[in-house]
Structure 1
Amino acid sequence: MIQRLEKAAASRSDDLAISNEQEALSFFQLLRLTEDWRERLSSYPKGTRLLISLPGGPSFLAVQLAAIEAGLVFAAMPHETPPEGRGKYLELFQPDLFLGDEGLSPQTVGKRADLPAEAAMLQFTSGSTGLPKGILVSKAQLTANLEINREHIQGIHPGPVFCPIPQFHAMGNAVVLEYLLHGIPVHLSNRFVPAFELGRITEFACRSVLASPNWFQLLLKLGALSAEKLPSLSSMTLGTASVDTTLVQGLRQAFPQAHIHLRYGLSESVGALTRLDIPPGKGLESRGLVGPPVPGIRIQNLPGLEEEPGELRAKGPCTCLGQLSSPERFERLDDAEGWLSTGDLASMDAEGRVHLRGRSSSFIKSGGHRIEPGEIEAVLRSFPAVLDAVVVGVQDPLLGQKIAAGLEVQEDWDQGALRRHCRTFLPPYKIPQRIQALSPFPRTAAGKPDLSKVRQHFEGTQGQTPRR
């Protein structure tokens, strides 16, 4: 992978390669820093485990590339994690070395599972539904993802990109590697300050933004996204499991001539499994449509749109080696034929495009109905005063589960008006019985809504008067 950086540095030596809030390096400077770290890390035996806690940006990337090239197993935890919160990452990974703001230090190692010899990187899951687990990938899988995306990246993204997704997150990490190692500058953000982030897009004349649907949704509601305010933007990519048509409609109104891309992937795969390209002037046909498989990825036969959805199973050169589910347990996640179960329910249309129907584990069973939370969340987010929403099932002796919605809202929200809005767009059995504004709105270190904390909140407030 360093060879790709060398190639980019040879043709774009003095051009800016990567930046964050504090640091910016050219391709040549990034290569020199990477080589310095490779020389330092090469003194450790192959298979040495390195855990870092650095802000996303030049130093993070240099250490990552150097560690992989030196044969170490690299992992990154959220930089803002306080010392007392590092335990869950240290305990799971059992690293030999830790690199943080205070420097590189050896660690005491306990009992731990043997990892596959080809393991190059451990990607922590977000922990949005509980404690994080570790997904292991090889250098060959990382390289295969670069090849799979080469034509798309070079054809659609001729200029700098901006990515506010943390680099320790699966998509944030994939974006940096995919674009920068194809010679495209990447500008990162490690804190959500809308005015600052929009200023960086303008400063570096970014041609594309790759972010979560929540990022785009919030900035649209703040009135911050438009072709007039961000004239350099020609492309937007939403990393997603499912996007509502109204969000794409809002982006299309703000940027009539931009290309909009939806990429669906998992921590268990490097990069995207499917991609949907929405050309200028077009919208999203239906919620959950995420497009056909990317080149090299196979999707096992799925039911048609009129049938009950089935579990989406994928196979290809980028699916992971397996999972470190506890310090002493490594397990493969694919079956004997190499098929990876994603946990997502999906259908496929006549054009070979995947339509996501929800997570098999997230459906709410209420009053005899099987309810997909994403549809309700989309309706809640379409209400002007709602910035974000999470819908969970809470145990109930009569219904089986009640539908509970935790919201991030603007100050002037009105629950009565929101319920009338829900009655307009949802059948009665899908309207949440409990709706509460949560302040602060619980999120994981990756910025995703923390489902486990939302569920714990509602389970701990059964029978209490909801906050307005």
Structure 2
Amino acid sequence: MIPNWLLKRAALTPHAPALSFQDRTWSYLELKEEALDRAGKLRSLGIGRGSRIALLGGTSGEMALLIHGCLLAGIEMVMLNSRLTAEEIEYQLKDSQSEWLVCEDAVRRKTLQHVCRSIVYDELVQLNREPLQLEQMWEEDRTLTIMYTSGTTGFPKGVRQTAENHTSSALSAVLNSGLHDGDAWLHMMPLFHISGFSILARAVLYGSEVRLFEKFDAAIAAEEITTGRVSGMSVVAVTLERLLTVIENGKLSVHPKFRTMLAGGGPVPVSYLKRAEQCGLPVLQTYGMTETSSQTATLSAVDALRKPGSAGKPLFFTDIRIDGQTEPFVKGEILIKGPHVTTGYIGKHTSTQVLRNGWLHSGDIGYFDDEGFLFVSDRRSDLIISGGENIYPAEIEAVLAEHPQIVEAGVCAMQSDTWGAVPAAFVVARSAIEEESLRKFCQTRLAAYKVPKAFHFVDELPRNASNKLLRKDLRESLTSRK
């Protein structure tokens, strides 16, 4: 059994700072009361323990209150990416069988669907609050969140994340990085991502503060870090570089309180790590995925400088091995085991087997060095990581295939100085078609970051003897076109 996080934390440290957003700060007692208010208003709609609803909105104080309200009340949350198109959102609402959609007014235009009932934040807060019975303890296998991750079939998969998954992930993280009085985490990540949600979860378990902002702002981040307001922050490579530039140009000094710059979402260039060292920023590279409820391996502070490029060692409750390999420096697929690993998918992928002989097959390629440090050589062979966002080519290919003039399409990663990588499409067309027409077609069906940044018209796509598309050949052809 696991304590209902916020009930327990508010009882232990009621007056400790819990959350700040814009000009408002909540103590843990105040956060509990506001979360109870949201839970009671959801209850007035018939939403209670065991219900499943979808949340759609940006990073805001109201979204954080809704999340905590759902957690208190035992409501399963489907965390929708606010950058998705209406079509993509509709698919996830149908697949998850969400009973309600709760969204912010700014994204109301994306909710023109009849899949489930919906309500915006402003309407919800006007409702009367109904009393509800709260559980003091949770079963370990209770589903808290569902997050969609792109599937190799082109259909996103809804990943179940349980109380045990999130709790063990948070405990593993603190055993690696430590906990100090007055710790506060600078939160500039999307709340619908596992990275963003896990910051909220860790804070409640640790009793630390979350300093929440709507989006990443390098100047504000630099001020928070150099003035000693925060002790940690999560970034991806592209946001780390922007932050480094502000610190370097301003000749700023990192405050001694700041201990952890957690870098995920793909490998960080060694040049960035060297610049961070010069700035006094302790960058800890980490490796994880939606199926592992955030981190599964992280580099500790004491090893950060001597193991650049490493994702560190498996966290305390985690086992990682390289499939079929026992010797150091030999690459293979990364396999993961532990209480933080999802128990399964929902909807269309309910029958998809998550574990094989107890191990999650990540699809990522890596190796251990002779000291047991994990290095991730390649992300999933076809995965495009663009500014921390995961993009699967098959999803884009499926959209392009819907165009009446397209025979087939292949998508691969194209290098980008800004985002690390962006999608590029190779298209076999039935007749002449304008590139801009294809781009607009994709924009109505895909989030902006998934829309190909280049279209190449070809006579045929490279395939092997089994007729499998060879995306590696597509990537190589991009190089030859330069």
TM-score higher than 0.5: yes
Separation (CA, whole Å) in 2 of partners of 1:138 and 1:360: 25
- 1:242-257 equivalent positions in 2, closer than 5 A: 242-255=267-280
Separation (CA, whole Å) in 1 of partners of 2:276 and 2:181: 18
**Equivalent residue of 1:155, what SS?**
coil
Instruction: For 2:415, give the aligned amino acid.
Output: A
- Tell me if the contact between 2:188 and 2:214 (Cα under 8 Å) persists in the aligned partners: yes
RMSD: 4.4
Instruction: For 1:300, give the aligned amino acid.
Output: R
1:233 is aligned to: 258
**Equivalent residue of 1:32, what SS?**
helix
1:337 is aligned to: 357
Separation (CA, whole Å) in 2 of partners of 1:358 and 1:304: 19
Deviation of the 1:134 alpha carbon: 1.6
Instruction: For 1:101, give the aligned amino acid.
Output: E
2:230 is aligned to: 206
Within the alignment, does 1:275 sit opposite 2:317 as a pair?
Answer: no
2:36 is aligned to: 35
1:127-155 residue CA offsets vs partner (Å, 9 max, x unmatched): 89966432111222222223333433543
Separation (CA, whole Å) in 1 of partners of 2:457 and 2:416: 13
**Equivalent residue of 1:228, what SS?**
coil
1:178-224 residue CA offsets vs partner (Å, 9 max, x unmatched): 12331110112222332234345567711222221221112223445
Instruction: For 1:239, give the aligned amino acid.
Output: G
**Equivalent residue of 1:355, what SS?**
strand
2:434 is aligned to: none
- 1:78-227 equivalent positions in 2, closer than 5 A: 78-79=81-82, 86-101=89-104, 108-109=115-116, 118-125=142-149, 132-155=156-179, 158-201=182-225, 205-223=229-247
Separation (CA, whole Å) in 1 of partners of 2:147 and 2:116: 19
Separation (CA, whole Å) in 2 of partners of 1:57 and 1:153: 26
Name the CA shift for 1:72/1:130 in 2 (closer, same or farther; >3 Å): same
Deviation of the 1:11 alpha carbon: 5.0
Q: Which moved more, 1:307-316 or 1:215-224?
A: 215-224
**Equivalent residue of 2:252, what SS?**
coil
Name the CA shift for 1:163/1:293 in 2 (closer, same or farther; >3 Å): same
1:361 is aligned to: 381
Separation (CA, whole Å) in 2 of partners of 1:8 and 1:223: 35
**Equivalent residue of 2:78, what SS?**
strand
1:368 is aligned to: none
Q: Which runs of 5+ in 1 are unaligned?
A: 111-115, 364-372, 382-387, 393-399, 410-439
Name the CA shift for 1:118/1:158 in 2 (closer, same or farther; >3 Å): same
Separation (CA, whole Å) in 1 of partners of 2:412 and 2:6: 52
Separation (CA, whole Å) in 2 of partners of 1:210 and 1:129: 30
**Equivalent residue of 1:317, what SS?**
coil
**Equivalent residue of 2:147, what SS?**
strand
Name the CA shift for 1:2/1:79 in 2 (closer, same or farther; >3 Å): farther
Within the alignment, does 1:297 sit opposite 2:318 as a pair?
Answer: yes
Name the CA shift for 1:33/1:54 in 2 (closer, same or farther; >3 Å): farther
Separation (CA, whole Å) in 2 of partners of 1:407 and 1:129: 29
Q: Which runs of 5+ in 2 are unaligned?
A: 118-139, 394-409, 420-438, 460-476
**Equivalent residue of 1:166, what SS?**
coil
Deviation of the 1:273 alpha carbon: 0.8
Deviation of the 1:83 alpha carbon: 5.9
Instruction: For 1:313, give the aligned amino acid.
Output: L
Name the CA shift for 1:192/1:240 in 2 (closer, same or farther; >3 Å): closer
**TM-score (structure 1 length as normaliser):** 0.69
- Tell me if the contact between 1:123 and 1:136 (Cα under 8 Å) persists in the aligned partners: yes
Name the CA shift for 1:266/1:457 in 2 (closer, same or farther; >3 Å): same
Separation (CA, whole Å) in 2 of partners of 1:37 and 1:313: 40
**Equivalent residue of 1:300, what SS?**
strand
Deviation of the 1:14 alpha carbon: 3.6
Separation (CA, whole Å) in 2 of partners of 1:342 and 1:120: 22
Deviation of the 1:164 alpha carbon: 1.5
Instruction: For 1:55, give the aligned amino acid.
Output: G
Q: How many residues align?
A: 390
Within the alignment, does 1:405 sit opposite 2:415 as a pair?
Answer: yes
1:433 is aligned to: none
Name the CA shift for 1:294/1:136 in 2 (closer, same or farther; >3 Å): same
- Tell me if the contact between 1:333 and 1:341 (Cα under 8 Å) persists in the aligned partners: no
Q: Which moved more, 1:120-129 or 1:178-187?
A: 120-129
1:236-293 residue CA offsets vs partner (Å, 9 max, x unmatched): 21124322322211100001xx54322211011113111111339x625343x11110
Separation (CA, whole Å) in 2 of partners of 1:182 and 1:172: 16
Separation (CA, whole Å) in 2 of partners of 1:347 and 1:71: 40
- Tell me if the contact between 1:273 and 1:293 (Cα under 8 Å) persists in the aligned partners: yes
**Equivalent residue of 1:408, what SS?**
coil
Name the CA shift for 1:274/1:225 in 2 (closer, same or farther; >3 Å): farther
Name the CA shift for 1:316/1:96 in 2 (closer, same or farther; >3 Å): same
- Tell me if the contact between 1:346 and 1:356 (Cα under 8 Å) persists in the aligned partners: yes
State the identity %: 18
1:281-339 residue CA offsets vs partner (Å, 9 max, x unmatched): x625343x111100111113453676541100101101012223xx4441344335221
1:263 is aligned to: 286
1:415 is aligned to: none
Task: Pick the aligned partner of 2:339 from 299, 304, 317.
Answer: 317
**TM-score (structure 2 length as normaliser):** 0.67
